[in-house]
């Protein structure tokens, strides 16, 4: 007899490297896979740059190292050349985020590593949150709430109605399209800037963010983060939006020149802002924003609903099952 498994032995359970705290509970995967969970290990995990390399080295040295990794979004752990060098057995990276700016797609393509993301799991929730922020800033809902809690010594400044507003959307993907649909129902005049015009929509297309802002009362950022969209909203775009304009960002923090945004708000060059994302999360929020009553801040929670958590668990498992069975991924990222 050879040294291989006997005919009656059960098949080996595939190993999955889990590098996301809370996004996909390990219990959702343990029924199907051998889960190697960085955040459930006995060793310290903070700061990441000190403890992650040793953990990955131990994982790579296992007799049956993982071929798939589940990675949280936001960039705290990057799937780059160093990461793939550390665990060379990996052939699939599944991100729990829709954005993939924390994954080196070119390096994955070079090594034959397939990539999947969250697809449209979050789209409706982020669209709802974006519209909520638009209404909050225009109608000063959070500012009025703070006044009531402090004793209502005076009335808040007048708000502004949403209906009839010209809303420009940067990024008309799955999230941007749903934002447009919702604001259309409020009677807003929607236009957009994207990589290219979309024949399937009737909204007006603008070739650049500055031109879009110049024709908008509200500018909503809902695009992915890449080399073309990093700081796509800079000082010139904010000036084009104007002193009565409102900016809402549910994309990535680095889509907006944050220092320039703070200056524009301080100097009254725009009327207000709603921000769910920041350039240096989670601790790098510019302190000056905290004292501005015309700014609404949320801690990157546009995706944070119980429904999206459940959907993400199912979606992640389905992507892993597709990979291990040799089938197409549910939400493949083009490399």
Among 32, 139, 263, 300, which one carries the catalytic annotation? 300
What are the start-end ranges of the H helices in the chain?
27-30, 48-60, 81-86, 105-111, 123-139, 141-149, 174-185, 209-214, 235-241, 258-266, 306-324
Q: Backbone phi, then psi, for 109, in 5-degree steps?
A: -60, -40
67 noted as active-site residue: no
User: Per the residue annotation, which of 252, 258, 260, 279 is the catalytic one?
Assistant: 252
Selecting among 107, 281, 309, 321, the annotated active-site residue is 281
Token pair belonging to 126? 């982020």
Active site annotation includes 288: no
For 61-123, the DSSP string reads TSSS--SEEEE-SSSSS-BSHHHHHHSTT--EEEESSS--TTB-HHHHHHHT-EEE--TTTTH
What are 223's two structure tokens?
A: 């695009």
Is 252 part of the annotated catalytic residue set? yes
Q: Which residues pair with 187 in a beta bridge?
A: none
For residue 214 the two structure tokens come to 């110049």
Give the active site residues: 252, 281, 300
């Amino acid at each position: 007899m050879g040294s291989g498994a006997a005919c009656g032995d059960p098949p080996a359970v595939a190993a999955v490297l889990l590098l996301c705290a809370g996004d996909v509970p390990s219990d959702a995967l343990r029924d199907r896979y051998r889960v190697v969970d960085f955040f459930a290990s006995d060793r310290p995990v903070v700061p990441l740059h000190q403890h992650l390399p040793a953990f990955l080295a131990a994982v790579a040295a296992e007799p049956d190292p993982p071929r798939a990794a589940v990675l949280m979004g936001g960039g705290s752990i990057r799937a780059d050349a160093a990461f793939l060098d550390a665990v060379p057995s990996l052939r699939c990276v599944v991100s729990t985020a829709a954005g993939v700016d924390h994954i080196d797609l070119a390096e994955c393509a070079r090594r034959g590593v397939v990539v999947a993301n969250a697809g449209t799991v979050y789209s409706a929730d982020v669209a709802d949150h974006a519209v909520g922020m638009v209404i909050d800033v225009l109608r000063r809902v959070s500012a009025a709430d703070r006044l009531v809690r402090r004793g209502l010594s005076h009335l808040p400044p007048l708000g502004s109605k949403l209906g009839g507003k010209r809303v420009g959307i940067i990024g008309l993907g799955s999230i941007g399209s749903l934002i447009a649909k919702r604001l259309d129902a409020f009677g807003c005049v929607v236009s957009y800037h994207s990589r290219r015009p979309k024949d399937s929509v009737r909204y007006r297309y603008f070739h650049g963010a500055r031109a879009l802002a110049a024709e908008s009362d509200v500018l909503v950022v809902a695009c992915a983060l890449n080399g073309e969209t990093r700081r796509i909203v800079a000082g010139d775009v904010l000036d084009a939006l104007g002193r009565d304009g409102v900016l809402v960002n549910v994309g990535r923090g680095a889509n907006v020149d944050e220092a320039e945004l703070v200056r524009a708000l301080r100097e009254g060059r725009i009327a207000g802002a709603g921000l769910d994302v920041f350039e240096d999360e989670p601790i790098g929020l510019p302190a000056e924003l905290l004292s501005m009553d015309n700014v609404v801040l949320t801690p990157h929670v546009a995706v944070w609903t119980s429904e999206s958590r459940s959907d993400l668990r199912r979606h992640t498992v389905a992507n892993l099952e597709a990979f291990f069975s040799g089938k197409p991924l549910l939400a493949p990222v083009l490399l």
